[in-house]
């Protein structure tokens, strides 16, 4: 009996061990994946932050620091690629990113990329060919460096403005007539429109032009034991249904 119990005892002991604190960050202007610090809070909220906290609940040895800070996605990527950050929750996978960052399965979020237009613009779009046919009358705004932007920029024949810094910046440009469309995933777009009280001035077209998955991403120099612990906790979070329950809290 003891011979059969010993492997389980060793596994439990390993999971109980503490690992170095994992460095992460919240993403700037990324509602509701990351919510700004509220008065009295010591760390950012939001769906992606909650995923990290849930991993800690499963394996208390997985501890995270940095959720009290925010940074743009390009800066976060540079720090993750250089090993100055260890982990980030909710990052889209691209071939360029996969060359320098490891993405863990399963994905933790599915995003549906759609088009926002001014509320007084009667246009309807059914596919990318209709966007191409608009020519320069169909300028599409995207967030600089985002996964949504990378996918759209890989599609030929579109007129894209990728100079916008973030969601508030591009929504202002949209309302100012500096672009006809704003391409963004509806998970963040709906929350940002509500936060800026633009529901009467901006509408989201029903067509989904692209669906993308977002993942837990880790720096490639992370010790193997740490990687295994994160993967084990992520699998348990998924298989238990807790990941789906977390997602359901953010309609």
Domain ranges of the chain: 2-110+213-248, 111-211
Tokens of 245: 């329950």
Q: Name residue, tokens 């779009």.
A: 125
Question: How many whole angstroms separate alpha carbon 73 and alpha carbon 55?
Answer: 22
For 36-77, how does the pLDDT look when each residue is reduced to its tens digit (9 = 90+)?
A: 888 888 899 999 999 999 999 999 999 999 999 999 999 999
Tokens of 131: 């966007």
* Whole-number average pLDDT of the chain: 92
CATH architecture of 111-211: 3-Layer(aba) Sandwich (3.40)
Q: Which range in 93-97, 165-169, 237-241 is most confidently predicted, on average pLDDT?
A: 237-241
Question: How many whole angstroms separate alpha carbon 68 and alpha carbon 43?
Answer: 4
List the beta bridge partners of residue 202: 118
The pLDDT score that the predictor gives to residue 38 is 81
Lowest mean pLDDT segment, chosen from 5-9, 13-17, 92-96 = 5-9
- Checking if the pLDDT of 18 tops 80, the result is no
- Checking if the pLDDT of 12 tops 50, the result is no
The pLDDT score that the predictor gives to residue 79 is 99
For the chain, give the percent of residues with pLDDT over 70. 93
The superfamily CATH assigns to domain 2-110+213-248 is Periplasmic binding protein-like II (3.40.190.10)
The pLDDT score that the predictor gives to residue 115 is 98
Question: How many whole angstroms separate alpha carbon 67 and alpha carbon 124?
Answer: 40
The pLDDT score that the predictor gives to residue 40 is 81
Cα angle 129, 130, 133; round to 5: 85
Cα angle 165, 124, 138; round to 5: 45
Mean pLDDT of 134-163: 94
Question: How many whole angstroms separate alpha carbon 27 and alpha carbon 49?
Answer: 10
Tokens of 153: 């920029």
Question: How many whole angstroms separate alpha carbon 230 and alpha carbon 218?
Answer: 10
Question: How many whole angstroms separate alpha carbon 53 and alpha carbon 50?
Answer: 5
List the beta bridge partners of residue 101: 219
Burial of 93 (0-12, 13-18, 19+ CB in 10 A): middle
Query: Do 2-110+213-248 and 111-211 have matching folds?
Result: yes
3-state class (DSSP) for residue 230 = helix
Burial of 2 (0-12, 13-18, 19+ CB in 10 A): exposed
For 175-214, how does the pLDDT look when each residue is reduced to its tens digit (9 = 90+)?
A: 999 999 999 999 989 989 999 999 999 999 999 999 999 9
Tell me the pLDDT band of 29, cut-offs 50, 70 and 90: confident
Question: How many whole angstroms separate alpha carbon 44 and alpha carbon 165?
Answer: 21
Per the model's pLDDT, the better-predicted residue between 144 and 76 turns out to be 76
Tell me the pLDDT band of 131, cut-offs 50, 70 and 90: very high
Question: How many whole angstroms separate alpha carbon 99 and alpha carbon 134?
Answer: 36
| Cis ω for the linkage preceding 196 (within 30 of 0) | no
- Checking if the pLDDT of 6 tops 60, the result is no
């Amino acid at each position: 009996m003891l011979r059969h119990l010993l492997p389980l005892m060793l596994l439990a002991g390993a999971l109980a061990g503490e690992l170095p604190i994992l460095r992460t960050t919240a993403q700037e202007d990324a509602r509701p994946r990351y919510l700004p610090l509220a008065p009295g809070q010591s760390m950012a909220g939001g769906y992606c932050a909650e995923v990290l906290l849930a991993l800690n609940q499963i394996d208390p040895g997985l501890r995270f620091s940095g959720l009290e800070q925010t940074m743009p996605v390009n800066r976060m990527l540079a720090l993750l690629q250089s090993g100055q950050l260890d982990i980030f929750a909710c990052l889209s996978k691209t071939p360029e990113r996969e060359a320098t960052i490891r993405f863990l399965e399963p994905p933790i979020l599915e995003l549906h990329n759609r088009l926002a237009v001014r509320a007084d613009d009667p246009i309807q779009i059914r596919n990318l060919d209709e966007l191409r046919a608009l020519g320069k009358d169909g300028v599409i705004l995207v967030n600089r460096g985002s996964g949504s932007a990378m996918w759209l920029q890989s599609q030929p024949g579109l007129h894209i403005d990728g100079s916008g810094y973030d969601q508030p910046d591009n929504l202002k440009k949209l309302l100012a007539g500096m672009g006809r469309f704003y391409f963004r995933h509806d998970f963040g777009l709906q929350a940002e429109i509500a936060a800026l009280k633009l529901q009467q001035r901006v509408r989201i077209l029903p067509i989904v032009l692209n669906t993308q998955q977002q993942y837990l991403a880790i720096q490639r120099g992370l010790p193997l034991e740490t990687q295994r612990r994160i993967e084990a906790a992520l699998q348990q979070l998924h298989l238990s249904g807790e990941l789906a329950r977390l997602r359901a809290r953010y309609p």
